[in-house]
Amino acid sequence: MRRLTLLLLFCVGGTVSGVEPTVRIDTAVTPPTWALLERQLLDANAAACRKFFARYFDERGFLMCVERWGGDDGPDDAPENVGGWAQLHALGGADDILTMYRKAWEGHLRQYTLAKTVEVPFARDGMYYKEFPVMFDWQHNGEGLRLFNLQGLSDYQDNRYQHRVRRYAGFYMNEDPGAPNYDPKHKIIRSMINGSRGPLMRKATGLDWAGDPIDIENRFDLGHGERNYAEMVAHFKDYNDVVGDHPLNLIATTLPLNAYLLTGQKKYRTWLIDYVDAWVGRMKRNGDIIPSNIGLDGTIGGETDGKWYGGTYGWGFTVIVPQTGGLAHRNRQYWGFVGMMNAYFLTGDDKYLDAWRKQTARVNAQKKVIDGRDMYPRMYGDDGWYNWVPQPYSFNQLEIYYLSMKPGDRRYLENDAWLKFLDGDNTSYAEQALRRDLAEVRRRAAAMDGDTTTPDTRLADDPAKYNPAQVTALRQLMVAGLDPGRRASVWHTRLRYFDPARRRAGIPDDCAAMIDRMTDSTTRVRLVNTNQLESREVIVQAGSYAEHTIRSVQLGDTTTRFKGPTVRVKLAPGAGGTLTLTVDRHSRQPTIHFPWDRN
């Protein structure tokens, strides 16, 4: 018998504020292929992660490798080996995924606090201090924090996590007198290299970046292709101009955002908005282009002879590859867009996205025809724009569109397979994506078996290529989420799921979810209970951090209006159905707290 029921406590079919509705789905369905593949992928990920953890981590949670400091291989690479695991658990992965990645995080903190340099000055007393990198750039700091910044999705009650969230934010809010990273007068982070021991206030050297001398030949295979230590130092010999602020430092804004999500204290929100606003102002003053150096006096290019494009990882940062003699263009300003995303996340103010739209337009306006082709620049130096490529400048375009949902922001995303699926134009995408990730789990597990390295011939980033956690399809299909990536972003998703029976994050056992339509104000999700004998209950939340407000829930022909961040769904054995949620996005102050822990 076909039966779809929508119940709202106290008021059926009416409008209630703050009351969580209950949806009952009783219609039996044959489990769709996508649902079975989702469950299979969750299980396969967990099994492969157990194998990986047993192979590369010891009983303390230490990564079994040679510990080193530097940009080639360093402390940030250790937790990257469990990248994706926090998302996996938050989606509904096995309980021990959390146990393993928590152990890896705790272990690496101790491991790299004990690890010391001999020649690199600022890490001689430990590569970590107060459980945080002593000082390094935010390309690497961000990579190392990608796990921690998502730990709260499943584990914010952990006392150590709560202390660290406050401590890490404090390093950038001058709450720790030993880490004077921030200048509140000029609203700058005072160096591109910074951390728990404060900013590096001198020119950096190749040694600072490359780490202590070490034998490479016949032992290690470096990711940048260097064949010996001399080439390691040569790789970084021009990475000198680090004093002053740089867009990479905008990644640090995720630390006070974490603290705000945990505590709700306004000081964290205020600091974040003030700092990002300062950068938006600099973009306006610099012709809508984000400058890559801000002087200690707050002026654009103040530490690079007035050149707005100067500095390490700046618009004009082109270096020589030592082993080939070729040029490498290493402009990293676009990583800083995470700060704009964080400010938009808290305010919903389009000015943070518009600042980047204008930069994109300015860069692409430099287009010129070379050999009959339209070419676009990526770099700017003393002689103007250079490094011409056939693709328009479109960094962060997916993120902008995802946050704004404005049709105009779909430009440069015409061929995005996931977006086409959400439009209803790529119906085979779900199964293809799930099968692709299953195949990659299998491939990496097999490759792991062929790894012949030993702990004394293995660097921290070597095992990462075998990390089996594959969450792309699950993230897109289950929660319609962005990839937090290596920039240590928080998790931007349309929906999120909680298991009220087990009091944990993630969709309950046997359940599957697929978001197959998404507009500015609506999200359509299909929910299935693949268990034919037992019912399941799931809490569906609008946004990873309850940042969206649900205004109505439609199931079949019944629509119920209310205002709140969650809806409770009861799935009968073998049942499935489709919910359409109408939402006001970014209309609530976000929180990391689980639904049952909120007032």
User: pLDDT at position 143, please?
Assistant: 96
User: pLDDT at position 224, please?
Assistant: 79
Domains of the chain with CATH codes: 4-30+494-597 (2.60.40.1180), 34-56+159-472 (no CATH)
The DSSP secondary-structure symbol of 530 reads -
Q: Percent of the chain beyond pLDDT 70?
A: 97
Question: For 277-291, how does the pLDDT look when each residue is reduced to its tens digit (9 = 90+)?
Answer: 999 999 999 999 999
What is the rounded distance in angstroms from the CA atom of residue 146 to the CA atom of residue 80?
Answer: 7
CB within 8 Å of 113: residues ≥ 6 apart? 126, 127, 128, 129, 131
Q: How many CB atoms lie within 10 A of CB 497?
A: 23
Q: What average pLDDT does the segment 183-197 reach?
A: 98
Q: What average pLDDT does the segment 573-598 reach?
A: 97
SS3 category, 581: strand
pLDDT over 90 at 305, yes or no: yes
Question: For 463-494, how does the pLDDT look when each residue is reduced to its tens digit (9 = 90+)?
Answer: 999 999 999 999 999 999 999 999 989 999 99
CB within 8 Å of 339: residues ≥ 6 apart? 247, 250, 251, 253, 272, 275, 276, 279
Q: Percent of the chain beyond pLDDT 90?
A: 94
User: pLDDT at position 3, please?
Assistant: 43
Question: For 126-148, how does the pLDDT look when each residue is reduced to its tens digit (9 = 90+)?
Answer: 999 999 999 999 999 999 999 99
pLDDT over 50 at 539, yes or no: yes
User: pLDDT at position 18, please?
Assistant: 60
Structure tokens belonging to residue 235: 């790789």
The DSSP-derived string for 341-409 is HHHHHHH--THHHHHHHHHHHHHHTT-EEETTEEEEEEEEETTEEEEEESSPP-TTHHHHHHHH--GGG
Per-residue pLDDT band for 6 (boundaries 50, 70, 90) equals very low
User: pLDDT at position 14, please?
Assistant: 43
Q: Is the dihedral of CA 210, 211, 216, 222 positive or negative?
A: negative
Q: What average pLDDT does the segment 182-204 reach?
A: 98
Helices (H) and strands (E) in the chain, counts: 17, 21
DSSP β-bridge partners for residue 129: 132
Residue 242 in contact with residue 312, Cβ under 8 Å?
yes
Residue 492 in contact with residue 482, Cβ under 8 Å?
yes
pLDDT over 50 at 559, yes or no: yes
Per-residue pLDDT band for 4 (boundaries 50, 70, 90) equals very low
Per-residue pLDDT band for 108 (boundaries 50, 70, 90) equals very high
User: pLDDT at position 232, please?
Assistant: 92
User: pLDDT at position 16, please?
Assistant: 52
Structure tokens belonging to residue 247: 């867009």
Per-residue pLDDT band for 29 (boundaries 50, 70, 90) equals very high
First-to-last C-alpha distance (Å) of the chain = 39
What is the pTM for the complete model shown? 0.96
Residue 212 in contact with residue 157, Cβ under 8 Å?
no
User: Maximum CA pair distance of the chain?
Assistant: 77
Question: For 356-402, how does the pLDDT look when each residue is reduced to its tens digit (9 = 90+)?
Answer: 999 999 999 999 999 999 999 999 999 999 999 999 999 999 999 99
Structure tokens belonging to residue 257: 């955002």
Per-residue pLDDT band for 7 (boundaries 50, 70, 90) equals very low
User: pLDDT at position 20, please?
Assistant: 87
Q: Which helix (H) or strand (E) holds 570?
A: strand 566-571
Task: Order the strands of the 558-564 sheet from edge to edge.
Answer: 15-17, 558-564, 549-555, 576-584, 522-529, 511-518
Per-residue pLDDT band for 11 (boundaries 50, 70, 90) equals very low
What is the rounded distance in angstroms from the CA atom of residue 377 to the CA atom of residue 365?
Answer: 10
Q: What average pLDDT does the segment 284-305 reach?
A: 98
Q: What average pLDDT does the segment 256-267 reach?
A: 98
User: pLDDT at position 142, please?
Assistant: 96
User: pLDDT at position 226, please?
Assistant: 87
pLDDT over 60 at 8, yes or no: no
Q: Is the dihedral of CA 208, 213, 216, 217 positive or negative?
A: positive
User: pLDDT at position 251, please?
Assistant: 98
Residue 159 in contact with residue 168, Cβ under 8 Å?
no
Report residue 111: phi and psi, to 5°. -60, -45
User: pLDDT at position 17, please?
Assistant: 58
CB within 8 Å of 578: residues ≥ 6 apart? 524, 525, 526, 527, 555
Q: What average pLDDT does the segment 576-583 reach?
A: 98
pLDDT over 90 at 268, yes or no: yes
Sequence-ordered alpha helix ranges (H) in 409-461: 417-423, 429-449
User: pLDDT at position 218, please?
Assistant: 87
Structure tokens belonging to residue 24: 């009952």
Amino acid at 387: N
Share the mean pLDDT of the chain: 95
Question: For 59-72, how does the pLDDT look when each residue is reduced to its tens digit (9 = 90+)?
Answer: 999 999 999 999 98
pLDDT over 80 at 244, yes or no: yes
Question: For 390-440, how does the pLDDT look when each residue is reduced to its tens digit (9 = 90+)?
Answer: 999 999 999 999 999 999 999 999 999 999 999 999 999 999 999 999 999
Residue 63 in contact with residue 56, Cβ under 8 Å?
yes
User: pLDDT at position 481, please?
Assistant: 98
SS3 category, 537: strand
Per-residue pLDDT band for 2 (boundaries 50, 70, 90) equals very low
Residue 104 in contact with residue 55, Cβ under 8 Å?
no
Residues 362, 363, 366, 368, Cα dihedral to 10° = -140
Query: What is the β-pairing status of strands 522-529 and 511-518?
Result: antiparallel
Q: How many CB atoms lie within 10 A of CB 277?
A: 15
Residue 426 in contact with residue 414, Cβ under 8 Å?
no
User: pLDDT at position 502, please?
Assistant: 98
Residue 297 in contact with residue 319, Cβ under 8 Å?
no
What is the rounded distance in angstroms from the CA atom of residue 565 to the CA atom of residue 578?
Answer: 18
Q: Is the dihedral of CA 229, 234, 240, 245 positive or negative?
A: negative
Q: What average pLDDT does the segment 49-56 reach?
A: 98
Structure tokens belonging to residue 300: 């654009």
Question: For 19-28, how does the pLDDT look when each residue is reduced to its tens digit (9 = 90+)?
Answer: 789 999 999 9
Structure tokens belonging to residue 488: 């240590």
Query: What is the β-pairing status of strands 566-571 and 22-25?
Result: parallel
Q: How many CB atoms lie within 10 A of CB 79?
A: 24
User: How many CA atoms does the CB half-sphere of 267 hold within 13 Å?
Assistant: 9
Structure tokens belonging to residue 170: 């404090």
